[in-house]
Structure 1
Amino acid sequence: MKGLKPTLLALCVAGAPTLVLAGAGFQPLDEASMGNITGQAGVTIELETKLNIDRFIYTDEGSLEINDIFVGGANRTDMFSEMGVNMSGAATDRLDNIRVNIDIASDGDAIINLLPLSFNAVDLRISTGAWNLKGSGGSTTILDNFNMDALVGSGTIRIDTATDKLNFKTDIAIDDLDFDVPFLALGIRDFEMTGADYDLQAPQPLRVFAPVELDIYKAPNANNVDSLAIDLHTFEADIRIGGVIVGGTSIGSVALDNLAITNTSMLIYGH
């Protein structure tokens, strides 16, 4: 084997799969036969997962450290309890009930649809521990005790070959969001976000979701350097905050009715 020339060895390795397939009764397809094979059915992925990260650290000259990150299921059946309907199915701490359909359109566009496996929405929990800024001057906790329980109705990602843009659409509702900002002695409790037409007195499941649409692509900044561009086309929601905590005491609640953010663009780049 030591004396076998590399070219001969490569030919043997390249020919081995053909010999094996032929021996098993498989015949190679000619170009005409290959042309009749299409991927019209696409690919479907059923997903079930949860994610734990002990610590995420972003370092520039100093660093930002995010501790105890969890992404999974909300493990609840009482989301938006005023409807009297179980919107999320069985209680579990796994991110589940997700079907991902992947297709390539005739024009080359990639289309990824995120859909629930059953009629229930996808329940989501994101939580973290302390967010710390660290450097030679010391350390400051800018955020702590972050916990968000949300429902996702759907999501679509389309990569357009004509415009080189990634378009993202989703429908999301936040049932409960809490967090503290220790260095400001500030806390937010019972933050809730729904669709702009959601009525607490006559709640409807299909109106609970707030629509979000944005484009992500490459664009030049003021110095003509390629940068990450994000255009927010649609965000319409009602927002309610049950308690604003300042210095350990609630100073009241806040409500934003029919909040609409449109025609918003940003460029992100290093400096």
Structure 2
Amino acid sequence: MKGLKPTLLALFVSGVPTLTFADSGFQPLDEAFMGNITGQAGVTIELETKLNIDRFIYTDEGSLEVNDIFVGGANRTDMFSEMGLNMNGAATDRLDNVRINIDVARDGDAIINLLPLAFNAVDFSVSTGAWNLIGSGGSTTILDNFKMDALIGSGTIRIDTATDKLNFKTDIAIDDMDFDVPFLALGIRDLEVTGADYDLQAPQPLRVFAPVELYIYKATNSQGVQSLAVDLQTFEADVRIGGVIVGGTSIGSLALDNLAISNTSMRIYGH
């Protein structure tokens, strides 16, 4: 109920006749006074949530459906067990330990910072059921049993009024990802993504995160049509796959050391 009090107060004040304020000695705030209170602290949101969607459907001529979507906490205290860390001592299935700071700078830029409430990373989990392609010719399951447990070290969104670009930065580490690709008889187990300098033999917590930076904005495509543009500025990571399964049998593991993706641009539009 505390969150309702400012709203109720505002409604009450807005309904009081102007004459009452005049008789009581209240005066409206002038522009000079309002100028003196600019530059104050922005808005902070403390977030705790989890999300379930029974089915997501995208339809063109046929449809793609994604079943049993879950986004929440990893419900684990043993993420990256080689470091011997206790993830805040409390495992839940809620996306929590999240603080979002929102500010508008003097130049008009919007700045949104994602931070942990405690000095810790934010753990999260995403899982889905079957991803099905459905059309007049039948249906095919292209992905199933997807589950990812990961950590976010930080996140920043900045909307720049000078360039009309959204800049997104984050630091992410995937502790475990599993999924099946049924129509190819392929399965991936224990996929892990860490920073490029993370060493399993001498692990350091601050090196576990892989940096990601994106610019998202409006730009023309090769046909001169306005499109959604996504530029990947930075992605550097080590990738390890514990098991690759083909036809129900493991054929071994894979590792990519010092994977670096840069100078990558996408233009997204309808056709």
TM-score, normalised with respect to structure 2:
0.91
**Residue 87 of structure 1: how far off its partner (Å):** 3.5
Q: Give the structure 2 partner of residue 239 of structure 1.
A: 239
Q: Give the structure 1 partner of residue 189 of structure 2.
A: 189
Q: Give the structure 2 partner of residue 7 of structure 1.
A: none
Structure 2 residue 92 is the aligned partner of structure 1 residue 92: yes
C-alpha distance in structure 2 between counterparts of 1:177 and 1:16, whole Å: 58
Q: Give the structure 1 partner of residue 76 of structure 2.
A: 76
C-alpha distance in structure 1 between counterparts of 2:84 and 2:143, whole Å: 33
CA contact (8 A) 2:243 2:253 kept: yes
CA contact (8 A) 1:88 1:122 kept: no
Task: Give the 5 Å matches for 1:111-130.
Answer: 111-130=111-130
Task: Give the 5 Å matches for 1:60-209.
Answer: 60-209=60-209
Q: Give the structure 2 partner of residue 10 of structure 1.
A: none
Structure 2 residue 215 is the aligned partner of structure 1 residue 215: yes
C-alpha distance in structure 1 between counterparts of 2:20 and 2:215, whole Å: 48
Letter matched to residue 147 of structure 1: K
Q: Give the structure 1 partner of residue 30 of structure 2.
A: 30
Letter matched to residue 128 of structure 2: T
**Residue 16 of structure 1: how far off its partner (Å):** 5.1
CA contact (8 A) 1:55 1:66 kept: yes
CA offset digits 1:12-40 (Å, max 9, x no partner): xx985535655777432122222222142
C-alpha distance in structure 1 between counterparts of 2:23 and 2:58, whole Å: 55
C-alpha distance in structure 1 between counterparts of 2:70 and 2:50, whole Å: 8
C-alpha distance in structure 2 between counterparts of 1:258 and 1:23, whole Å: 72
Q: Give the structure 1 partner of residue 5 of structure 2.
A: none
C-alpha distance in structure 2 between counterparts of 1:200 and 1:148, whole Å: 20
Q: Give the structure 2 partner of residue 55 of structure 1.
A: 55
C-alpha distance in structure 2 between counterparts of 1:50 and 1:177, whole Å: 19
CA contact (8 A) 2:39 2:106 kept: no
SS of the residue corresponding to residue 82 of structure 2 reads helix
Q: Which moved more, 1:170-179 or 1:79-88?
A: 79-88
Letter matched to residue 133 of structure 1: L
Q: Give the structure 2 partner of residue 229 of structure 1.
A: 229
Q: Give the structure 1 partner of residue 8 of structure 2.
A: none
Q: Give the structure 2 partner of residue 11 of structure 1.
A: none
Letter matched to residue 107 of structure 1: D
Q: Give the structure 1 partner of residue 18 of structure 2.
A: 18
RMSD after superposition: 1.6
CA contact (8 A) 1:88 1:123 kept: no
TM-score, normalised with respect to structure 1:
0.91
Return the index of the structure with the highest Cα Rg: 1
Residues 1:109 and 1:251: Cα distance change in structure 2 (over 3 Å): same
C-alpha distance in structure 2 between counterparts of 1:123 and 1:170, whole Å: 14
Letter matched to residue 220 of structure 2: P
CA contact (8 A) 2:158 2:166 kept: yes
CA offset digits 1:65-106 (Å, max 9, x no partner): 000000000000000000011235410000000110111111
Identity %: 86
Letter matched to residue 217 of structure 1: Y
Uncovered stretches (5+) of structure 1, i.e. residues with no partner? 1-13
**Residue 120 of structure 1: how far off its partner (Å):** 1.3
C-alpha distance in structure 2 between counterparts of 1:224 and 1:199, whole Å: 46
SS of the residue corresponding to residue 34 of structure 1 reads helix
CA offset digits 1:205-255 (Å, max 9, x no partner): 000000000100000012211100000010000000000000000000000
Q: Give the structure 2 partner of residue 6 of structure 1.
A: none
C-alpha distance in structure 2 between counterparts of 1:108 and 1:241, whole Å: 44
Letter matched to residue 240 of structure 1: R
Residues 1:201 and 1:19: Cα distance change in structure 2 (over 3 Å): farther
